[in-house]
């Protein structure tokens, strides 16, 4: 009889591998990076990571025994959620493990802009001394709207308060959330934005968030406001953002994600003086595999004993 398979597309360290073997002694563990071909893919019960061709094949197979996928990212819009839901497969994400890195990225970007550090770096390349006319401001006292009050948003809200920033949040219903002075519903966002100095997008990509940041929203921005996007690229309508940057509705944008990645060389965003482009690196996290294991291993233990997950299970209808 073929053993059920745990397929690891993301490799864990030796101690974590031993723990998987201890928790799942009746399973065969396949390291997907070794290109093994001598196993029956339909016997895969659990996948850690993302192998598009394999998952597509299993979702199309009537013989597939796939029961659970553990993603290695917080966003899961690249999965076919409708097919996964139809087959009643569990899906969990890696939400939470990037909170510290993304928070530090956002605060670093803000400090660089508000304290004139970014301008000084550009001036240093030209060996130009501009003290008096280097633009600078103060973060303390600024109002920041964090669009997306999940684990990353909460961590950012708490951390930013240490710099005197006033953090407000946007979520689906406007429910109160730890780390925020006040939260508002997504449908009321256009009414709240005019009072904010900094707007940070941390939203996942769903049918409801696609191109949420568009001309209507950008026109509501306070003149000279700052926009940061570390969510999903397609939540922003890029052409509308470019227009808003050109007409001064947004004084500065720090963009880590884009509708098309890598960002096309022909994109005007590369050469706009009020834009900072970073190559989708805000979520890069030291000890990534160890942090991922703190989600996967407890889930594995509970899945084997109870058939359910205890951490980060995704709602396949909501998309997060």
The pLDDT value given to residue 260: 95
Confidence tier at 44 by pLDDT (50, 70, 90): very high
Q: Which residues, 6+ apart, have CB-to-CB distance to 23 below 8 Å?
A: 297, 300, 301, 304
Res 286 pLDDT > 80: yes
For residues 98-124, average pLDDT: 95
Structural domain contains residue 124? yes
Confidence tier at 11 by pLDDT (50, 70, 90): confident
Give burial (CB, 10 Å; 0-12/13-18/19+) of 186.
Answer: middle
Res 167 pLDDT > 90: yes
Q: How far is residue 11's CA from residue 57's CA, in Å, rounded to a whole number?
A: 21
Q: Which structural domain, as residue segments, surrounds residue 182?
A: 99-277
Res 37 pLDDT > 90: no
Q: How far is residue 320's CA from residue 317's CA, in Å, rounded to a whole number?
A: 8
Q: How far is residue 299's CA from residue 171's CA, in Å, rounded to a whole number?
A: 27
What's the predicted TM-score (pTM) here? 0.93
Structural domain contains residue 320? no
CB of 137 closer than 8 Å to CB of 163: no
Res 36 pLDDT > 70: no
Q: Which residues, 6+ apart, have CB-to-CB distance to 121 below 8 Å?
A: 112
Res 35 pLDDT > 80: no
Q: Which residues, 6+ apart, have CB-to-CB distance to 252 below 8 Å?
A: 113, 226, 227, 274, 275, 276
What is the rounded average pLDDT for all residues in the chain? 96
CA 138 to centroid of chain Cα atoms? 27
Q: What is the CATH number of the domain that holds 173?
A: 3.40.50.720
| Span of 78-87, 131-140, 256-265 with lowest mean pLDDT | 131-140
What total of structural domains would you count in the chain?
2
Residues 253 and 167 in one domain: yes
Structural domain contains residue 314? no
Structural domain contains residue 282? no
Residue from 135, 129, 130, 140 nearest 112 by CA: 135
Residues 302 and 178 in one domain: no
Residue from 151, 10, 144, 18 nearest 74 by CA: 151
């Amino acid at each position: 009889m073929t053993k059920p398979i745990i397929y690891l597309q993301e490799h864990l360290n030796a101690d974590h591998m031993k723990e998987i073997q201890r928790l799942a002694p009746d399973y065969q563990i396949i390291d997907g990076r070794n290109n093994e071909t001598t196993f029956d893919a339909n016997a895969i019960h659990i996948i850690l990571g993302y192998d598009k061709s394999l998952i597509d094949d299993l979702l199309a197979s009537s013989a597939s025994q796939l029961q659970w996928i553990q993603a290695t990212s917080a966003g899961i819009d690249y999965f076919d959620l409708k097919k996964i839901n139809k087959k009643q497969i569990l899906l969990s994400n890696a939400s939470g493990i990037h909170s510290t890195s993304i928070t530090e990225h956002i605060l670093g970007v803000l400090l660089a802009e508000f304290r004139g550090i970014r301008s000084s770096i550009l001036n240093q390349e030209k060996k130009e001394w501009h003290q008096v006319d280097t633009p600078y401001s103060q973060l303390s006292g600024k109002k920041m709207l964090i669009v997306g009050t999940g684990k990353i948003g909460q961590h950012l809200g708490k951390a930013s308060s240490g710099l005197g920033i006033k953090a407000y949040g946007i979520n689906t219903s406007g429910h109160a959330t730890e780390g925020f002075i006040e939260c508002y519903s997504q449908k009321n966002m256009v009414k709240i934005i005019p009072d904010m100095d900094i707007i940070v997008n941390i939203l996942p990509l769903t049918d409801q968030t696609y191109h949420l940041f568009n001309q209507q929203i950008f026109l509501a921005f306070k003149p000279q406001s700052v926009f940061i996007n570390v969510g999903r690229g397609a939540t922003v309508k890029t052409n509308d953002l470019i227009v808003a940057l050109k007409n001064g509705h947004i004084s500065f944008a720090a963009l880590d994600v884009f509708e098309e990645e890598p960002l096309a060389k022909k994109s005007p965003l590369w050469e706009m003086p009020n834009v900072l482009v970073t190559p989708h690196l805000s979520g890069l996290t030291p000890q990534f595999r160890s942090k991922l294991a703190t989600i996967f291993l407890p889930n594995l233990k509970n899945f084997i004993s109870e058939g359910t997950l205890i951490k980060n299970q995704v709602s396949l209808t909501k998309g997060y």
